[in-house]
């Protein structure tokens, strides 16, 4: 049985890189019919917030990643950690260190001045004398002093770290609270985690955690350290590169399946395949196929995937999602034609909402450049004649009927299509570009079409 986990610390929103590691863990567990667990790493009482935890869970819900069981909160388990600290103390595998923070800082400074690697000098490791007055000790674990710590990483291969690179690190602060590397090892072991897939910024934590595993006699899991996601400039991912917060993607009009598809292909691939449904991801994902090198965030590709998923979404779903963007089409009589048109042309829901609004609402202003291009010569006159022709026409309903009318109009006037197309476009949506005019007129109807033409004509006359 494969058991994986995602273990964020609740200090802010869920980061896009975090979502990718969570996804990898999720897929690997699901592929093997195993379990995917969530653990909230909130041992640093001063830095966590309940809102952050909420935000993380909300993001999980949005992308549709389900986890098994309730989230485990480390802050609920301090007694458990304490019992392990006592055990290690009793067995002589950990010890009290009475060095104050100030002394430690001083030692570090001196070492750096000598161009040495700053490290704890082990002065209390075998201390038997009387402890100094008034100092609350921290607890340190005895790390091996000689030899190497070796482990297999499923992505990077064999990792060898010399024992003297690993300090007797602190497992409990002077206030008694346990520290990260200690509790991670305990929780992973106790929660039965078999495969740890995490960011490679944790690579150096692994030997420390191995020290804990060994001191406590726990069995080691498999480790996979996945390279980070870099920003578009090849530097660390920042706000400039789109967004870091997963929920921002919802706000910007991305579909969760597009985001997941984008993320799964960052560092992982399956031959030439680009599009993966969640089922396919689950069927094909294997952490040992993850690349060893870092990859860059690429907005264009995300956009392309998003447009793909929008095109392939049923209209009803799009109508529902569009409500967050102020467009209410669920019971609109032109819903199907509107969505059929715009799902083909838009890359995000936000863009879709904006363009649908252009059709549904009478333009408030006209694009200046478009005005110059479209309204030169006798354009106003032509537009006016076209309005007249609309008025004289009998009932019009379908896009093709409107289209026929335009054809008759240009034939009768002996002008090119552009002569009426451009001004009409300007009148209807306030700019050049946009969908088929027959479609637009059919959606808004004859009366509104005439009204919009007259509005533009009036606007020109006033200038």
Contacts of RNA in 4-63 (CB under 7 A) = 9, 41-44, 47
The DSSP annotation for 252-303 comes to TT--HHHHHHHHHTSS---TT-----HHHHHHH--GGGS-SS-EE--HHHHH
Tokens of 221: 């899991």
Cα-based distances in Å from 115 to 59, 94, 112, 123, 164: 45, 29, 5, 20, 16
Query: Rule CB under 7 A: which of 229-268 touch RNA?
Result: 230, 234-236, 265-268
From the list 32, 75, 205, 384, which residue makes contact with RNA (rule: CB under 7 A)?
205
Query: Rounded to an integer, what distance in angstroms lies between the CA atom of residue 140 and that of residue 169?
Result: 5
d(CA 142, CA 165): 13
Q: 288 or 331, CB closer to RNA?
A: 288
Residues numbered 270-289 forming contacts with RNA, rule: CB under 7 A: 271-272, 274, 289
* Part of the chain binding RNA (CB under 7 A), chosen from 238-246, 328-336, 377-385, 425-433: 425-433
Q: CB of residue 408 vs RNA: minimum separation in angstroms?
A: 14
Measured from the CB atom, is 64 or 118 closer to RNA? Answer: 118
Helix axes 180-190, 78-90, angle to 10 degrees: 100
Selected catalytic residue, list 87, 162, 239, 369 = 239
| Cβ-based nearer residue to RNA, 201 or 330 | 201
Q: What is the CA radius of gyration of the chain?
A: 32
Taking the complex as a whole, how short is the minimal distance between the CB of residue 82 and RNA, in angstroms? 15
Among 75, 144, 190, 200, binds RNA (CB under 7 A): 200
CA distance 108 to 103: 9
Stretch that binds RNA, among 20-28, 197-205, 322-330, 359-367 (CB under 7 A): 197-205
Q: Give the nearest distance from C-beta 4 to RNA in angstroms.
A: 17
In the complex with RNA, the residue whose CB is nearer, 242 or 435, is 435
Judged by CB under 7 A, the residue of 17, 221, 430, 435 near RNA is 435
- Work out whether 357 is an interface residue with RNA (CB under 7 A): no
User: H-helix or E-strand containing 246?
Assistant: helix 246-251
CB of 11 to RNA, least distance (A): 7
CB of 384 closer than 8 Å to CB of 457? yes
What is the smallest separation between the CB atom of 331 and RNA, expressed in angstroms?
A: 26
Segment contacting RNA by CB under 7 A, of 26-34, 247-255, 269-277, 330-338: 269-277
Stretch that binds RNA, among 64-72, 278-286, 325-333, 421-429 (CB under 7 A): 421-429
Which range touches RNA (CB under 7 A), out of 14-22, 50-58, 342-350, 378-386?
Answer: 342-350
Residue 413 annotated among the catalytic residues of the structure: no
Residue of 5, 202, 446, 452 that binds RNA (CB under 7 A): 202
Beta-carbon neighbour count of residue 423 at 10 Å? 29
Q: Which of 98, 118, 94, 96 is nearest to 108 (CA)?
A: 118
Does residue 295 contact residue 230 with C-beta atoms inside 8 Å? yes
Q: How far is the CB of 208 from RNA (least distance, A)?
A: 8
**Reduced DSSP (H G I as helix, E B as strand, rest coil) percent helix, strand, coil of the chain, to 5:** 50, 10, 40
Segment lying near RNA (by CB under 7 A), choices 29-37, 227-235, 330-338, 378-386: 227-235
Within 129-148, which residues bind RNA (CB under 7 A)? 138
Structure tokens given for 182: 């200690």
Strand, helix or coil for residue 162: strand
Question: Do 163 and 27 meet the contact criterion of CB atoms below 8 Å apart?
Answer: no
CB of 44 to RNA, least distance (A): 3
Contacts of RNA in 148-177 (CB under 7 A) = 156-157, 159-162, 165, 169-170, 173-175, 177
CB 415 within 8 A of CB 350: no
Residues numbered 61 to 120 that lie near RNA (CB under 7 A) are 99-101, 104, 108, 115, 117-120
> Does residue 434 touch RNA according to CB under 7 A?
yes
Contact flag: residue 127 with RNA (CB under 7 A): no
Instruction: Enumerate residues 360-419 that contact RNA by CB under 7 A.
Output: 403, 417-418
* Contacts of RNA in 176-195 (CB under 7 A): 177, 179-181
Number of residues that bind RNA (CB under 7 A): 84
CB of 68 to RNA, least distance (A): 21
- Do 212 and 195 meet the contact criterion of CB atoms below 8 Å apart? no
Torsion (CA) 39, 43, 44, 48 in degrees, nearest 10: 40
What CA dihedral angle connects 422, 425, 427 and 428, to 10 degrees?
170
Residues in 289-318 that interact with RNA by CB under 7 A: 289, 291-296, 298, 300-301, 303-304, 307, 311
* Phi, psi for residue 75 in degrees, rounded to 5: -65, -20
- Estimate to the nearest angstrom the gap between the alpha carbon of 8 and the chain centroid: 14
- Which residue do the tokens 């829901």 mark? 349
Residue positions annotated with a catalytic role: 239
């Amino acid at each position: 049985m494969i058991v994986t986990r995602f273990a964020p610390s609740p200090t802010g929103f869920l980061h896009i890189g975090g979502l990718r590691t969570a996804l990898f863990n999720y897929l690997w567990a699901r592929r093997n019919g195993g379990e995917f667990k969530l653990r909230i790493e909130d041992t640093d009482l001063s830095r966590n917030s309940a809102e952050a935890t909420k935000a993380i869970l909300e993001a999980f819900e949005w992308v549709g990643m389900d986890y098994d069981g309730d989230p485990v909160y480390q802050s609920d388990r301090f007694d458990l950690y304490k019992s392990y600290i006592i055990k290690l103390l009793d067995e002589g595998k950990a010890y009290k260190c009475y060095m104050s923070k100030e002394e430690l800082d001083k030692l570090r400074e001196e070492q750096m001045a000598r161009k040495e690697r700053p490290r704890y000098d082990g002065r209390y490791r075998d201390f038997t004398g009387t402890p100094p007055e008034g100092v609350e000790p921290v607890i340190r674990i005895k790390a091996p002093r000689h030899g190497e710590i070796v482990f297999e990483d499923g992505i990077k291969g064999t990792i060898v770290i010399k024992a003297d690179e690993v300090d007797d690190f602190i497992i409990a602060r002077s206030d008694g609270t346990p520290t990260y590397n200690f509790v991670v090892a305990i929780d992973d072991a106790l929660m039965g985690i078999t495969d740890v897939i995490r960011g490679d910024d944790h690579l150096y934590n692994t030997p420390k955690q191995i020290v804990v595993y060994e001191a406590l006699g726990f069995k080691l899991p498999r480790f996979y350290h996945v390279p980070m996601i870099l920003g578009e400039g090849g530097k660390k991912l920042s706000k400039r590169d789109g967004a870091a917060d997963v929920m921002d993607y919802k706000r910007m009009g991305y579909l969760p399946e597009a985001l997941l598809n984008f993320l799964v292909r960052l560092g992982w691939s399956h031959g030439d395949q680009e599009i993966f449904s969640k089922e396919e991801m689950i069927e094909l994902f294997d952490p040992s196929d993850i690349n060893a090198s870092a990859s860059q965030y690429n907005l264009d590709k995300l956009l392309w995937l998003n447009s793909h998923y929008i095109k392939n979404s049923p209209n009803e779903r799009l109508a529902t999602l569009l409500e967050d963007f102020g467009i209410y089409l669920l019971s609109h009589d032109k819903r199907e034609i509107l969505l059929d048109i715009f799902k083909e042309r838009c890359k995000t829901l936000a863009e879709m909402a904006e363009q649908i609004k252009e059709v549904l609402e009478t333009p408030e202003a006209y694009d200046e450049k478009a005005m110059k291009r479209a309204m030169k010569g006798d354009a106003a006159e032509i537009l006016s004649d076209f309005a007249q022709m609309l008025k004289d026409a009998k009932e019009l309903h379908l896009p093709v009927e409107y289209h026929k009318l335009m054809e008759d109009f240009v034939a009768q006037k002996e002008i090119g299509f552009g002569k009426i197309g451009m001004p009409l476009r300007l009148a209807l949506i306030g700019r050049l570009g946009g969908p088929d005019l027959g479609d637009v007129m059919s959606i808004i109807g004859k009366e509104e079409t005439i009204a919009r033409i007259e509005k533009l004509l009036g606007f020109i006359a006033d200038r």
